[in-house]
Amino acid sequence: MAILSPLALTFEPARVIHPTGGLSTEGIGIWVAALLTLMIYSFLYKDNPFYKTAESLFAGISIGYLFGTNYQPVFLPKVYLPLKMFVEKVVARQPLTTGDWGSLNVLVPALIGLCTLFPFIYPRLGWLTTLPFALIIGYGAGLNIPTNITAILLGQMEGTLRPFYQYSAWNPDPMLFLSSLLVLVGVLATLSYFFFSAEHRGALGVSSRLGIWFVMVGFGAAFGLTVMARVSLLIGRVEFLLHDWLHII
């Protein structure tokens, strides 16, 4: 155990050898994570090979992990295993049930999915890639439009106006009224700023100028929260280094 005597702090780095003998996977993991953290933060001094190595490792491992987590729970049980069972039954000349034939349904989405690979493996049939993308866009639009209209557009419109009829229904909370009024004025003023079908003069000019103030306040809040988030991540890494790796705190 080492002692940083001027600060009265002790530190004992995570062990890679287990006290009972043998390698500690947890200890190795902590050392790898700590060294990679330092390699990434070395960029703050200047670009260097350690940073590049950590960056490339991160990109490669992320893609590998993404492939693995989608291959195991999605491709294997949904595509590979049903088709394998069907083929095994055909080869063994076993009687096929309706369920077995039903497992061939998976061929339709699988083949459509494979079309995305044509531009890379057989460019002459590259146009087939439009088929899966058309399906994705159609599916996305179908799912998005009603969801956004009900949850975002109508939900938010109702939420903007609801406090007023709650207020009028003998719920005289002045703070609720004031904050609701501020929200309503902010919404109308901001919308007027984005109304480009008329020149921003007169009443519309005043309203749009007020709108830009609300937008700026919104940007300020978003920027402040972004700084807070990035600082939190930095604190998380430094805390990991001091607590889990060096055991100083």
Instruction: Please say whether the beta carbons of 247 and 14 come within 8 A.
Output: yes
Nearest approach in angstroms of CB 111 to other proteins is 19
Q: How far is the CB of 20 from other proteins (least distance, A)?
A: 21
3 - beta bridge partners? 10
Q: Minimal distance in Å, beta carbon 162 to other proteins? A: 7
Alpha carbons 147 and 140: distance in angstroms, whole number: 11
Residues that bind other proteins (CB under 8 A): 7, 9, 44-45, 65-66, 69-70, 73-74, 143, 147-148, 150-152, 155-156, 158-159, 162, 183, 218, 221-222, 225-239, 242-243, 248-249
Q: Which is nearer to other proteins, 55 or 204 (CB)?
A: 55
| Smallest separation (angstroms) from other proteins to the CB of 201 | 30
Q: How far apart are CA 30 and CA 40, in angstroms?
A: 15
Q: Could you tell me the smallest distance in angstroms from the CB atom of residue 239 to other proteins?
A: 6
Closer to other proteins at the Cβ: 17 or 26? 26
How far is the C-alpha of 172 from the C-alpha of 177, rounded, in Å? 8
Question: How many Cβ atoms from other residues are within 10 Å of residue 30's Cβ?
Answer: 20
Amino acid identity for residue 39 in this structure = M
C-beta of 77 vs 205, nearer to other proteins: 77
- Residue closer to other proteins, measured from CB, 118 or 240: 240
Measured from the CB atom, the residue of 178 and 231 that comes closer to other proteins is 231
CB neighbours (10 Å) of residue 80? Answer: 14
User: What is the distance between the alpha carbons of residues 100 and 98, in angstroms, rounded to a whole number?
Assistant: 5
Q: To the nearest whole angstrom, how small is the minimum distance from the Cβ of residue 65 to other proteins?
A: 7
Residue matched to tokens 């866009």: 137
**Cβ(16)–Cβ(31) under 8 Å?**
yes
Rank residues 158 and 199 by Cβ distance to other proteins and give the closer one: 158
